[in-house]
Amino acid sequence: MSFSRESKEEILSAEIEDDACAIAFLAGLFHSCGAISKSGNKIYIKIVSDVEKLFGYCQKIIKKLYGDNVEAEIGENYSINKNTYYEIAFEVEKFRQLLLDAGVIDYGEDGMTFKFDIDKNILHEDEAKRAFIRGVYIGSSTSSIKLSSDSVQSCGSGYHMEFVSQSHQFLLEFSSILAEYNIIGKIFERKNAFVLYVKDVNTIQDLLALLGANKAVLDLSNEIVTRELRNKVNRQVNCINANINKTVEASLKQVAAINTIIKTIGLESLSEDLQEVAVLRLANQEESLDELLKLSTIKLTRSGLNHRFRKIMKIASTLEE
């Protein structure tokens, strides 16, 4: 299960006790993923979600608020890109009171009209505002976050969460609500839709905490630690490999220089101090300078040993010329 869907199911596992919060949650759903459709003489507002638990959750809220005689209809399931989506249909006439309470429709002299602006009256209390954000999150959020524990492949280094809507005005209003909790996102247009996105991982954690998705916050915190540790190990391995390559390259050059001297003027032509380090290198061709110092009986510093090798290479270079 994806991180995004798991966090949504965690949110839906908590009960909504307060009626105002229940209405605000449904309002968040209607505004974020609701679509108007008509079948015969009936007008519907339909909600589409990939979270199967949402239908039962909505039915429970409706029963609590409006009694047993009103039920939403669930349409046929369908799949897109291997994801199964569920359609929940609210007939406008049957759910007139719910839609009025949620600020989705209004009645005036010209009859019924649909309201596309967020009704601030239902978001008067902080808890109702949080419930509205939960509804929007369930309805329109997607995430690129993948947990290392769920995949043997690399999960990448980025963190990305976004809300998609056909309404630019809705995302502007919604981003203002999030900004009240110091959750700042950016809006851009993508093809025929608008996107409010958050890329800062700390902001995403704050958002999940605001939604009450505590397990998701913990999972994300563990993921951050895991990725940081993996990156640290990778940096250390790269550093070790670079040092090994550097050591091997230096050793090969030193051995080649010594062999040049042997083939031309002979190793015995060198001074005793240079002969000693030349023999030491030939006997330990894969070792670093530090390891050569440990193996040697010569009392030298690393700098002194390196100086002698430079002399040998200079002599070989002169001979080659």
Q: Where are the domains of the chain?
A: 3-212, 250-320
For 291-310, the pLDDT digits (tens) are: 888 887 777 888 888 888 89
pLDDT of residue 283 exceeding 70, the answer is yes
Q: Of the spans 77-86, 148-157, 294-303, which averages the highest pLDDT?
A: 294-303
Q: Tokens standing for 139?
A: 């309805």
Would you say domain 3-212 falls under CATH 3.40.640.10? no
pLDDT of residue 79 exceeding 80, the answer is no
pLDDT of residue 152 exceeding 50, the answer is no
Tell me how far apart the alpha carbons of residues 157 and 155 are, in angstroms, rounded to a whole number.
7
For 40-54, the pLDDT digits (tens) are: 888 888 888 888 888
User: Confidence class of residue 160 from pLDDT cuts 50, 70 and 90?
Assistant: confident
Q: What is the pLDDT of residue 95?
A: 87
- Contacts of residue 280, defined as CB under 8 A and 6 or more positions apart, other chains included, come to 292, 295, 296, 298
More confident residue, 239 or 156: 239
pLDDT of residue 156 exceeding 60, the answer is no
CA atoms within 13 A on the CB side of 189: 5
Task: Give residue for tokens 């019924």.
Answer: 112
